[in-house]
Amino acid sequence: MSTEKKLYAYVRQEIVPLGQAHLHVSDLAIQRGYGVFDYFRISEGRPLFLEEYLARFYESARLMHLPLPLSDEALKAAIYKLVGLNALAVSGMKMILTGGYSDSGYDIVAPNLLLLQQPVTMPVQALQERGLKLITHEYVREFPEVKTINYAMGIRLLQKIREQGADDVLYHHKGIVSELPRCNFFLVRQDGTVVTPAHGMLQGVTRKHVLELATKRYPAVEATVTLDDIRQASEAFLTSTTKRILPVVQVDDMVIGAGKPGAVTRQLLEDLVRFEESHHQNQVPGE
């Protein structure tokens, strides 16, 4: 898939070439960082788990007092129209809802909706084999249950992550682990139990699927996860819509298990890929 392909975007009730997708500077995202978003994958014209992503998007919008400018039906129609026009084999769709063009530069007005579809690159196999190294940082997102556009902390930490030769950062509060900037976190205890933090993190769609899949094979729980739990863990991994599952082999100076991706992580990735494929095959195109 060439990224040179001419793509279209949906901006404020219009479909325009992506190159011409602009917002006026009075938009509250630009003025005040005020907006929510969500992101789902599309495979051969079929959005994966669309209902789940839309439900979360609507919940984020509601919690931030941002009324959607479109009905559920009209939003889906816009999504499918864009997907048809762009005709990408494998892609991701970002839905952004901002506070709108605000005269006062502070008050929410009529929210602006954007739909941006782009080719997506799934993690390379080499990363699956190597596993990731994380640093930690004490931080809880302001509205952990909301997918806001605020990634100031994660982006500001990119320099530190690079300096430490790490791949990403894991947030914790007084040693209680929550999530990464764009991923959920899991570990496998010595006794084989799969655990993911219960509080302070985004309700990841992939997190939910992986937890369900894990339950079929292992003891699996949502629970408090501490940095010390990581030190004791036999495996760790992250989940996200674009990354699916990626092994974590080191957190700060703590080498996890054997310092290599583990068998449970590999098994769950296999299960997740199969689950996605079966969902995809059972789905009626355009449904």
| Contact residues: its own copies, CB under 8 A | 9, 11, 19, 21-25, 27-35, 64-65, 94, 96, 98-99, 105-108, 114, 116, 139, 142-143, 148-156, 158-159, 182
Which is nearer to its own copies, 1 or 263 (by Cβ)? 1
- Least separation in angstroms between CB 99 and its own copies: 7
Collect all residues with Cβ–Cβ distance below 8 Å to 283 and sequence separation of at least 6: 46
- Least separation in angstroms between CB 113 and its own copies: 11
Rounded CA Rg of the chain: 20
Which is nearer to its own copies, 5 or 156 (by Cβ)? 156
Residue 52, φ and ψ in degrees, nearest 5: -70, -40
Strands (E), 29-177: 35-43, 46-47, 90-98, 112-119, 132-138, 168-173, 176-177
- Least separation in angstroms between CB 70 and its own copies: 17
* Spacing of C-alpha 1 from chain mean position: 22
Which is nearer to its own copies, 89 or 155 (by Cβ)? 155
Which is nearer to its own copies, 97 or 233 (by Cβ)? 97
Residue type, 69: P
Considering only CA atoms, which of 237, 133, 241, 147 is closest in space to residue 195? Answer: 237
Which is nearer to its own copies, 199 or 279 (by Cβ)? 199
- Least separation in angstroms between CB 163 and its own copies: 12
Say how far apart CA 200 and CA 171 lie, in whole Å. Answer: 10
- Least separation in angstroms between CB 31 and its own copies: 7
